[in-house]
Structure 1
Amino acid sequence: MSVQALDWTGRELDLELGAVGHGGFCVARHEGRVVFVRHGLPGERVRAAITEDRGGSFCRADAVEVLSASADRVVPPCPVAGPGGCGGCDFQHARLPAQRRLKAEVVAEQLRRLGGLTTTAEDVVVEELPGGADGLGWRTRLRLAVGRDGRTGLHVHRSSTVIPLADCPQAVPGTLDGVADRTWSPGAEVAAVLDSTGAQHVVELVPVADTDGRRPRRGTRPRTRPRVVRGSGRAAQRAGGRDWEVLATGFWQGHTGAADVYADVVREWSAAPAGGTAWDLYGGVGLFASVLGEQVGPDGTVVSVESSKLATADGAAALADLPQVRFVVGTVEAELAELPRPVDVVVLDPPRNGAGRAVVEAVAGAGPARVVYVACDPAALGRDVALLAAAGYELTGLRAFDAFPMTHHVECIALFTPAV
C-alpha cells in the first residue's frame, strides 16, 4: 500500500516524543511516517490518538495518555485545555519556564532551517512581559465564537466545533464579565476588550453575506456587521507615553504589557536621527510611528503605511501633535515606490506571513542604516532573514517575548544592519 493511501484516523499508537515543532506539537515517528502530537512534551512516552490523517508523510494526533511523564509536566489550569478541548492553548501542561524553552527552540530552529543562521536555543531568551501572574490573567482582548446554541466559546483545535466558556484563565479579570450570561446570534463572533482605563467593550460581529452571494476565500474572515453591546466600541489605550483611542475590534496588542515594551525596543533600536526620514510599514494606528516621530523631530519625516482606513484615521488623531508623521492608506507593496528617499530607518511589522521578497528587496534597495522587524511568526521571520541576507543585511539583534503564555506563539523583534 502506498503512503498516500494510508489513513490512520482513530488509531492509537504508543510513541516516543521528540523535539517541539512550530505549531504547538512534538514530533514523533511511526512506521516511516511523522506524527505531530499535541499535549505532549519532548522525551515523553505517550499513547496518542490520531485525529487527522490526509495521507502523505505525516498525520496529527493528541496525547491521550502519558506513559512516561516529563519533569516539566503540570496539571493544566484550565479544565478544557486537554485533548478534544479548546484549541486556544498548546502548552498549559508544561511549567512556564519549560514553555519558554520550547519557544526558544522553535525560534532557533526556524532561523537555522529557513534563515540559514547557526542560531541555537541557547542564543534565544524568551522574555516575560509585565502583567499577569504565572502566565495567566494577561489577555485584554478576546474574540469568541458563537455556537449553534447561541453560547460563546472557543474552537476545538482545527475544528469548527465550539467549546462553551464562561471565563478564560488567560483573560484579565473583567474582560469577559457578563458575556456568557446571554444568548448571541449563532455563527457570529463576540469581541470582548478591556481597555487601559478598565472599561469593558463587548461587540457582536454578525456575518453579512457578500452582495455577489459568494463565500469568503479560505483563510479570510467573512464580512461582519458590528453591534456594540457594552461600552462605546472605542477603546482607550495608553502606550509609548501617549494616549490612544482605537476601534475596540481593531488591532491592538493582546498582552497587557506588550505595546509599551515593543515601543521601547523599537525606540532603542531604530535610533532615527533628528531631521531624518523613517518608514513605518504595516503601521496600524501608528504606535511605532509615534516613537519615530519623536526621534526625527519637527524637521524630520515619518511615513506610516497601513491598509486599514479606520486604523490610519485613529493614528492620525492620536498623533495630531506630530505633524512630521504622515499616514498613507494603502498596501505596503503598492506604496513603497512613492515613499521619501533617502531613508534612515525602516520599521516593519508585517502580518503573520511576513514581509516577503518584494517588500524586503525594496526596503533593502532604499539603503536604510537600520531595519527593525517585528515578527509574530518565527517561520516568517526566518524566511525574511534569508531574503534580507541575500539583499545585504545581517541580523545584529534579536529579542523574543512570551506575548502569548500557555500557547505556542512567540513574538520577536529583530534588528538588521548592512552587512560589512
Structure 2
Amino acid sequence: MSEPTSTTRLTVTVGPVAHGGHCVARHEGRVIFVRHAIPGETVEIALTENDDDAKFWRADVTRVVEASPERVEHFWPEADALRAAARHGSPIGGAEFGHISRKGQLELKSAVVREQLERLGGLSADSVDALFSAGVEDVDAKGNADQQAGLGWRTRVGFAVTPSGKLGMHAHRSHTILPIQEMPLAIPAVDELRLWDLDFTGIDRVEVAAPANGSGVLVLLAPVHGLSDKAAGSAVKRIARSLAALPTPPSVARWNPENSAIEVVSGRGWVKETTDDHEFRVTGDGFWQIHRMAPKVLTDAALGYLLQGGYLNDGADVADLYAGAGLFTAPLADAVGSDGSVLSVEGSPGTSRDARKNLHASEQVEILQGRVEKILGTQSRASHTEAGQRRHFDAVVLDPPRAGAGKAVVRALVATAPKAIAYVSCDPAAFARDVKYFANSGWKIEKLRAFDLYPHTHHVETVALLVPVTAKASTTD
C-alpha cells in the first residue's frame, strides 16, 4: 500500500456506497473505490492502488472539500484517514465508517443490503421494499452512552505486532502494521489489559476473547514463525508473567493459528459464554459471535421466525448447519423437546468438540464434524432415515462463514426438503448470491431483518426466513 504523495492526489465527487467499506467515484472514466468518504462529498484522495491496466483504482480520503452533513470527527485517531494524511501515513483498518454519524452508517448499510439483493440476489426493488422497509437496525439504541455511540461492543479482538514488538493493527490491504494505544470498539475488559504497554517481541499475532458476562479473559499468543521452540516459549512466558501482575489476570495460552492448537501457560484454554438459558465452553480461537449482544439478537430473530411460523414444535426434526459451539443448537433442542431431533454440523474439529461438551446432556442432539454438503449427501443417519429414505427436516438454521453457503451446500440442503430455513449471514454479498441459488431451486425470502452488529465498520448481519414456493424444488443452477 503506497503512502499518500502529492503526485497521486486527485479531487473527486463521491458517488454511491458500495459493498466492502468504500464509495464509488470516477475520474476521467476510471472507477475509483474510495475509503473514508461519504456519498455526495467532494474530497481530495490519495491513490493507493492505481496500476494502469487495473479495472479500477483504490484511494483514501486525505482532505474534505465539501463535507456531508453525516460527517463527524473520527473517534479513533489511529483509524482516522484525515489525521493519517496529515502525518503522511495511513490509517489502521477496522473502523472505516468511524467518520460517519451512527444514523448515516445505518443508512449506508441499508443501501448496501438493498443493492446486493437486487443486483446479486435478483430481487425486484418492490420486493426489497416489502421485505426490508425497516432497514438495518441499531441493536444498541437503548444502551449506555458509549454503546449508543457504537463503542465497547467487541468481545473478540485480533492484533498484529510491529517489528519493534508493539501491539498494532494492519493498514487496509497492507502488510504495514501500525502501533495502537487503545481499542475503543472492544468491551472495557480488553482495554484494561493494556496490551500496548507490553513488549511482544517474538510474537506474531495476539487474539483476545473477553466474554461480556465477565467470566474471564483469554489471551492467545502466536509466536513468530520459524522461532525456536525455546525462544517462542520464553516470549510467551515473559508476557504471561506481565499479565499475571494485573488485578484480574487473564488466562494465557501459546497458540498455533495453523491448526488452532493451544498450550495453556496460565489459567485455562477456554472461555465461558452465556445466554439467557445456556452456558457454552468455547476453546481457544473457537468461533463465537463478536458483538456482546449478538447471541441474543440473532437467536431471537432466527428462532423467532421458525417458532412464529410453526416450524418448531415438540418432536420436530431440525438441523443447525455451521453450528459452532452450539449457540443455535441448544435452543433448538429446547424447542423440539426429547421427542425431537437436532442435527448439528460443524467443520472445525475443535469447535465441534466444544459442541459435544456443551450439549452432552441433550440426547436428541446428534453432533457431526465435517463439511456440510458432504454430511448432508452421505449415506448416514444424518441424511437418511433408518428405513433408508432421504431425511427431511422440518426446519434448518443456516449460519455459514463470511463466504456464504455456496452452490453445493444449497443443492444438498434443498434435497432434504426442509419446510423453512432461517439463514443468518454476516456478508450481504454472499447472502445475496445464496438467495439467488435458492431462488433457482424454487425458494424465496419470506422475511428479512438486518442488524448493525459491527458499528463503525461496513459489516452487517442479516437474518432471513426462506421458504419453498414450489411443490418440488428444481436442481440448483
TM-score above 0.5 = yes
Cα deviation, 1:74-111, whole Å, max 9, x if unaligned, reads 00010011221111111100000100110000010000
* Paired residues of 2:423 and 2:463 also in contact (CA < 8 A): yes
| Structural mapping, 1:185-224, within 5 Å | 185-186=201-202, 188-195=204-211, 196-206=213-223, 208=225, 222-223=258-259
> 1:145 is paired with a residue of what secondary structure?
strand
Which whole-Å CA distance do the structure 2 matches of 1:228 and 1:25 have between them? Answer: 40
Per-residue deviation at 1:269? 1.5
Contact 2:395 2:420 in 1 (8 A): yes
8 Å Cα contact 1:266-1:291 kept in structure 2: no
User: Offset at 1:317?
Assistant: 1.4
Q: Distance in 2 between matches of 1:283 and 1:9?
A: 50
Give the structure 2 partner of residue 68 of structure 1.
66
Residues 280 and 326, structure 2, Cα contact 8 Å, conserved in 1? no
Identity of aligned residues (%): 40
Tell whether the 8 Å contact from 1:289 to 1:304 is kept in structure 2 after alignment: yes
| CA 1:344–1:62: 2 relative to 1, 3 Å | same
Structure 1, residues 126-163: CA drift from partner, whole Å, max 9, x if none?
11224523100111110101121111111001111111
Corresponding residue for 2:110?
104
Of the three residues 125, 128, 149, the one matched with 2:135 is 125
Count of matched residue positions in the alignment of Structure 1 and Structure 2 = 403
Matched, 1:17 2:32: no
Check conservation: 1:146, 1:186, Cα contact below 8 A. no
The alignment's C-alpha RMSD in Å is: 2.0
Matches of 1:133 and 1:13, distance apart in 2 = 35
For 2:414, what is the secondary structure of its paired residue?
helix
Alignment partner, residue 216 of structure 1: none
Which letter does structure 1 place at the counterpart of 2:405?
A: A
* Corresponding residue number in structure 2 for 1:374: 424
3-state SS of the aligned residue for 2:422?
strand
What secondary structure, in the 3-state scheme, does the structure 1 residue paired with 2:330 have?
helix
User: Which residue does the alignment assign to 2:341?
Assistant: 301
Whole-angstrom distance in 1 between the partners of 2:202 and 2:114 = 42
Q: Which moved more, 1:24-33 or 1:49-58?
A: 49-58
1:246 — aligned with what?
282
How far off is 1:14 after superposition? 1.0
Tell me the distance in 1 between the aligned counterparts of 2:69 and 2:221. Answer: 43
Match of 2:233 in 1: none
Aligned counterparts of 1:86 and 1:227: Cα–Cα separation in 2: 30
Amino acid at match of 2:71: R
Residues 173-207 of structure 1 deviation map (CA, whole Å, 9 limit, x = unaligned): 12131312221244611111212225222110225
Q: Offset of 1:287 from its aligned partner?
A: 1.0
Q: 5+ residue gaps in structure 2? A: 82-89, 227-256, 384-390, 471-477
Show the counterpart of 2:366: 326
Once the two structures are TM-superposed, the CA of residue 364 in structure 1 deviates from its matched residue by 1.4
| 1:288 pairs with one of 324, 328, 336 | 328
Partner of 2:455: 405
Match of 2:101 among 75, 95, 105: 95
SS of equivalent residue, structure 1 residue 142: strand
Tell me which amino acid in the other structure corresponds to 2:69: A
Q: Secondary structure at the match of 1:333?
A: helix
Ranges in structure 1 where 5+ consecutive residues have no aligned partner = 1-7, 210-220
Range 131-140 or range 274-283, more displaced: 131-140
Letter in 2 for 1:126: V
Q: Distance in 2 between matches of 1:208 and 1:306?
A: 28
Which residue is equivalent to 2:167?
Answer: 152
Partner of 1:328, secondary structure, is: strand
Alpha-carbon distance in structure 2 between the residues aligned to 1:109 and 1:160: 31
Higher-Rg structure is 2
When residues 344 and 185 of structure 1 are mapped into structure 2, their CA distance, relative to the original with a 3 A threshold, is farther
TM-score (norm 2): 0.81
Are the equivalent residues in 2 in contact too, given 1:201–1:230 (CA < 8 A)? no
Q: Which amino acid aligns with 1:138?
A: W
* Runs of 4+ off more than 3 Å: 119-122, 221-231
Using the size of structure 1 for normalisation, the TM-score is: 0.91
Q: Determine which structure has the larger helix proportion and give its number.
A: 2
Q: Which residue of 2 aligns with 1:389?
A: 439
Q: By how many angstroms is 1:321 displaced?
A: 2.4
Distance 1:188 1:278, change over 3 A: same
| Whole-angstrom CA distance in 2 between matches of 1:198 and 1:74 | 35
Deviations 1:47-95 (A, max 9, x none): 1110112332210001101000000000001001122111111110000
2:98–2:457 Cα contact (<8 Å) kept: yes
Q: Which residue in the other structure is 1:33 paired with?
A: 30
The 1:223/1:294 distance shift into structure 2, 3 A limit, reads closer
- Which string of whole-angstrom CA distances, capped at 9 and with x for unpartnered residues, describes residues 185-236 of structure 1? 4461111121222522211022556xxxxxxxxxxx6456645566523111
- Secondary structure of the 1:17 match is strand
Judge conservation of contact 1:148–1:186 (CA < 8 Å) in 2: no
